[in-house]
Structure 1
């Protein structure tokens, strides 16, 4: 059964509105049948001849919400050059769905026309996220096929496509695991880790199953081994089951090994218990959340423009803090007035005939003790605070680790300036 609203149906709708020359041509062969034949054969010259006969011939397809355009036909037949030509002169065709719910990119992938698919994405990268029947995107289709190389190209072309969900609330990661495409899963797994989007691995489908649940139900030991380190191992699906419960239900031959992996993961993640949204919102703010509030960053809805603005603010604060650290460190190395180059000698006289009143040593600040103390206190405070801001912005480490870092840097700073401060006598 062919996928058509087809060009023939479009011709029936618009034949009455065609110009006189077009009406004459329909007596021999409908102009849209000629266009369909040109798309099937990949005849670019014939395409422009038909455009010359009726300059609005391609515009008629825009009037129909769902139809098979010449681009759909070319994509299905593998006529790459013809398809690229249409992509340039009529880009709106690329996002139009036919009556079966497929875009030209979907059809190109279904018929294994990989070169054409790459061409589509090179012209318009947003096509990676175009949703067809069932909410399936080209990325979902490639994840199902397991083409790791093409999957990588699609992710780099359209990073946001990793968030796209089907009508069953499945991500590309769900689909890769369900279809046992291990290499595709590893590509997606590596992508979310490098993009720091690990929370996607905890997203649930319509049955409440995470990728971890699916891997457990299908006895995919290698997937479990990778996921156990970063996902919520005690997360429950809508049946109230964890991944461990699912493994016990299936009693697979791999159960002892997988069970051991899950138990090890539980021991490490004991403190990371799964909570409901209400429980999460009822808790006191964590250290990281208090930090975000202090810096004007949102702890919720970190998407879209808000995410972009937050990222820009984060980067600006980081740059300013780095500049302050650099300036204060340089001020410590070269304090105002400089440092003495040699030890004082009570028998030596200066240029004005006065003897030195106080002893000094090479490497000490030339300023007096009180001024040096004020300078070191203020400069040190600016240095340590800026350094602390950099640490919490970059690392996001637990509070205990921050305290260790802060203590180490404070000790180093105090030790460093001890040799600079002048004698108080």
Structure 2
């Protein structure tokens, strides 16, 4: 058994004991002195094992660099000859894509997938990972170093991440972060006057892992004939990242936080920071409205160095088409990716069919340095050739009928702001609706 797997198994057993103590206290029972001592001992052992696992994984990655480059292969199928090395210089997410392809081709059989990796010229670290991964949640756990690569490479595909949100690990799936609700005040006093008492008010940002899932259909022909191909790995990796990125944006922007979902920006915003847009504005009114959104953050003493906009494509194109009285573009900087001096990102995850008339959208102005994504670094992948899924048009598609394999990726994370004053939302934005008529 792999040393990494043994250490993970040992850590998991310790975590079960620790969670039992935590559950006991959460249900209203008091922990005894022995319980508290045991809790501290378990926590120390888990932290020590985590360090050992990190070092063991690093050793395995370094060992993989000694793998001998092999020619492209297709498991007995005739693919174009090429001299392609499997090295650590591959793009982020490529090894995760190779692992997903091999497991999909083997219908989830880890032993068979590892054998395919060894015979087919895949890197030794991919084969080793397939030999040591463990089953969980109906699928296979992705090694943490592979998962880290995928999560890091999500940034180009998730606009919320791309705008500069802070990513932090969720130890045991939870984290509590203190935040300041009220600052101390300093005032001038006379020589014989008592110094007034002042203090800081604190609150907590609690992050708890929520499960998110994405489905990626892969052609069985692609699985059968690809071999070790960077081109195919890029396609699979890109599909995984796009699907996960869209799912994240959908929830990090507009999820109401009910049930098992994270709460998004729309529902973190204070009531006073939700501002209705003018329906048929003049250019002067547009300028005043956008400036008013920015002013709300400035008046709350929010650091403006990491601020940015999130908008639907319809809103961006409408703003880009505005002209002043001389026929000049009102916001020429849109062509450079900025609005009112701050960067923006456009996403279709901000709808344009909100409101009673089905023609409204939203505008977000956010200090992204105050936005935190808490992440459980484990990903789970599962496979099916028989399941059905809904495509981009909402139509049900049979993977069996299409000769596809569905790859399901499950990630766990949560989202929240350290300061809720750092989010402002413009609502009832009907700008540009005529462009889609």
Scaled to the shorter chain, the TM-score interval is under 0.3
Which structure: greater helix fraction?
Answer: 1
| Bigger relative contact order (CA 8 A; separation at least 6) | 2
Structure with a larger share of its residues in strand: 2
